[in-house]
Amino acid sequence: MQSTFKLIRRFIKILLLSVVGLFALNVVLFLALSSQGVSNAGGWEAAKNLGQELQETDAGFVLSKQGQEILKERHAWAILVEDGTGNVIWKSDHLPEEIPLHYSVAEISYYTRGYIADYPTTTASRGEDLMIVGHPKTMYWKHMTPTFDYALIAHVPQILLIFLCVNLVAVFFIYWISVGGVLRSVNPIVTGIEALPAGKDVYIQEKGLLSDLACAINRVSEKLMRQDRELKKKETARANWISGVSHDIRTPLSMVMGYAGQMEEDASLSEQNRKKAAIIRQQSTRIKNLVNDLNLASKLEYHMQPMHAQPVNLVAVARQCIVDYLNLDLNPQYTISCETGKEFSPCIIEGDKELIRRAINNLIDNSICHNPDGCTIVVSVAESNAGYQVSVEDNGVGVTEKELDILRNTPHYMMNDSGTREPRHGLGLLIVQQIVAAHGGSVTFSCGKAGGFRVQLQFPKLPEEKKSVQFPNTTWL
């Protein structure tokens, strides 16, 4: 709709500019034309000049050569009417026969304003007498009663303004009527096009001026919706397939893990066989973790993982993660400690406690997995202007700049559409990135201060107004 109003505003601007422009153009044209013409087409001037060119001599009146030239140029005739008697005391050559040679005062008044025998006249005084010049019948049109009300002349500015306003209103009305129909057809089209990027199902009635366009938009919408449905169907099928496989593999894997664990502790078996059983159990656990990770990663990727949003104290989650490892009788070559910027200060965000726990656990697992000879792991929670930061850092083998570059810039094979099957890094870090992204945060990989590997998770702070509010239970990631 906004674009329609923009369109209307643009039309009106063009219209106003056109009106003003046309008015200015006409004024200029008028001035240009009128400046080249002679006032009253020179008829009155000619009468005045003839009066001056007519000389009275002892032998009577004589018209000078210039006077004769004037009459010749204009194909005109002239008479001089005597004051008092009304008689014609001089007449030019070629005077038409129907021209009277005597005039009463009333006739003179009439002929001065109008015509003598349909010949348009112009007059000028010559002393007390009156010079009348008759012009060809088709030369002039005369307005015989040129009288204007003085009050009307005094109100000309207001009258012009009223004219202007009435004209503008009329123009807008005409514009509105003519454009209204177009707008009625355009509006649904514009609304439909605007709704298309939002993924909404669009239907525009296929009638009116732009029915072809409406029809095309409807077809585009249908196509987009069908593609969207198919994509979602594929994504759901893929996630469900992974979920199904992960489910179906659990029971057989239970058997493998169970019996391997039993054999591992069976004192009647040889040391070598017990070691083999331990390896089977350990590798089964790896498969179990891999299946779980694959399932979670695909659900996070396709927004099928439910998120139980609530206020979460990051310090509490970090402590819980560390304690979980310590309670599992962690190999003594690994030590895990917790560092918080300000003791007992809660760092509260809005999020899913279990998912954040999973992210931190993945990072601790990552440190343990890549440092088989042991390392010290520090989980720290700190506050910054941008939010809260959870860091998991070890002093182990660390990473090279090249490996860091791959971690930072190369998408995981699950996210990559280039067809490569090369796994850039484990699913664990991918899941960490997905979980943090779902919380509106970011992940930074870097070298640790003690030479190991450091991962920083940045979470946005919980808005003040939400700190005392209960959160809705479930949204979907």
Interface ranges with another protein (CB under 8 A): 246-248, 250-251, 253-259, 261-262, 265, 281, 284-285, 288, 292, 306, 308, 311, 313, 315-316, 319-320, 322-323, 326-327, 337-340, 344, 346, 348, 354
User: Which amino acid, one-letter code, is at 99?
Assistant: I
- In the sheet that 88-91 helps form, which strands lie side by side, from edge to edge? 88-91, 77-81, 129-134, 119-126, 115-116
Dihedral sign (CA 204, 206, 208, 214): positive
Nearer to another protein, 133 or 315 (CB): 315
Read off the amino acid at residue 217.
Answer: I
Sign of CA dihedral 91, 97, 99, 100: positive
Where in 177-299 does DSSP place strands (E)?
Answer: none
Q: Which two tokens stand for residue 329?
A: 């009788």
Min. distance of Cβ 445 from another protein in angstroms? 26
Between residues 207 and 250, which has the closer beta carbon with respect to another protein?
250
HSE (side-chain half, CA atoms, 13 Å) at 357: 15
Amino acid letter, residue 351: G
By C-beta, is 338 or 450 nearer to another protein? 338
Instruction: For another protein, give the closer residue by CB, 131 or 318.
Output: 318
Which of 280/397 has CB closer to another protein? 280
Closest of 299, 207, 198, 191 to residue 246, by C-alpha:
299
Strand partners, 475: 307
Q: How far is the CB of 310 from another protein (least distance, A)?
A: 8
Nearest distance, CB of residue 461 and another protein, angstroms = 14
Task: Decide whether 144 or 267 has the Cβ nearer to another protein.
Answer: 267
Buried b or exposed e, range 194-221, using 16+ CB within 10 angstroms: ebeeeeeebebeeebebeebbeebbeeb
Smaller CB separation from another protein, 284 or 434: 284
63-68 contact pairs (CB < 8 A, 24+): 63/92
Q: Which two tokens stand for residue 258?
A: 């169970």
Least distance to another protein, CB of residue 350, Å: 12
CB of 311 to another protein, least distance (A): 6
Do strands 334-340 and 375-383 pair parallel, antiparallel, or not at all (unpaired)? Answer: parallel
In the complex, minimum distance from the CB of residue 447 to another protein, in angstroms, rounded to a whole number: 25
Please say which residue, 79 or 322, places its beta carbon nearer to another protein. 322
Note the helical H segments in 328-426.
Answer: 353-370, 401-409
Compute the least distance from the CB of residue 333 to another protein, in Å.
19
- Grouping H, G, I as helix, E, B as strand and the rest as coil, residue 372 is coil
Phi-psi map region of 208: left, alpha, beta (phi>0 left; psi -120 to 50 alpha)? left
Q: Which is nearer to another protein, 4 or 313 (CB)?
A: 313
The CB-of-246 to another protein minimum distance in angstroms stands at 8
Closest separation between CB of residue 366 and another protein, Å?
21
